[in-house]
Amino acid sequence: MSALSFASMFMPQRVLTALTAAYFKFTTWQALGQKEYHREPTTINHTTMNIHLVPALKDNYMYLLVDKESGNAAAVDPVEPEKLLQKVEELQVNLTTVLTTHHHWDHAGGNVELAKLRPGLIVVGGDERVGALTKQVKHGDEITLGSLKVKSLFTPCHTSGHICYFVDERDPAVFTGDTLFVAGCGRFFEGNAEQMYKALIGILSELPDHTKVYCGHEYTLQNFKFATHVEPSNPAADEMKKRCENLRNEGKPTVPSTIGEEKKYNPFMRVKESSILQYTKTSDPVEAMKILRSEKDSF
């Protein structure tokens, strides 16, 4: 059990929320407000939408999801509102919505300021702790963004109200916050291995393999160190690790991956595979998830 999970059993929620915000502010204060980006901003062209990666803080990603037909846009986890609005102005799109994956400050900490700067925004989230929340969603709820339909996927574990957002089109995308990373997954701050197993295996693994994965942080190289430690003979992990090292050297994001790719090299998406079960010395995939996360926490 993490220290945050332990503390949540005894502290009033308002105190825990304040401490959580303070923790994330402390760990990112040097990067807050910097004009430079930790990675090169990038645009990914999908069939009916564009997704603009806007790096934030020291390793976060904000996203601007733009419907090509209407020009309407949604900001995903806009922790640095001014940087996000610069992109909005540059593209001359109509920002209507904020999609918040979870309440942690480094994801939702810009919501209140952004809502003040752009009155009338629809601020979506799965947790009443999300700042400036106007629309609380549950699993399966849909948000309309121009011609796009954005489906809410309830994936509690990292936090108890975590939501991933799936845009189902011919070239689909999912915004996974701190549930699924390239070659990794989030810490179990407010949940357990059974919940993460359901999130990764029961929900996200069931999305189409060509779904592009837009996660919340640039943790990729550290994740691959662990992945190749767990499966040293996995050629998919070795190949992707080298590709991501090249991208890192060029200052480019390693995001997005795809669901199909994650199934090939992400140990947390592979807990039913014999190699992972052998490594964790168990026949239970949920127990394997628990063992992997515990080991990764101190890796």
Q: Euclidean distance between the first and final Cα of the chain, in Å?
A: 16
- Which of 46, 52, 77, 106 is the catalytic position? 106
- Which of 46, 52, 107, 162 is the catalytic position? 107
Between CA 146 and CA 166 the distance in angstroms is 15
- Which of 67, 77, 127, 178 is the catalytic position? 178
- Which of 46, 52, 158, 162 is the catalytic position? 158
Active site residue 38: no
Active site residue 106: yes
Helix (H) or strand (E) holding 257: strand 257-258
- Which of 52, 102, 103, 162 is the catalytic position? 102
Active site residue 158: yes
Residue 3 one-letter amino acid: A
Number of C-beta neighbours around residue 34 at 10 A: 14
List of long-range contacts for 87-93, beta carbons under 8 Å, 24+ apart: 87/41, 87/52, 87/54, 88/64, 91/52, 91/64, 91/66, 93/64, 93/66
Between CA 48 and CA 168 the distance in angstroms is 10
Active site residue 178: yes
Tell me the three state secondary structure of residue 237: helix
Active site residue 102: yes
Residues annotated as catalytic (active site), given as ranges: 102, 104, 106-107, 158, 178, 217
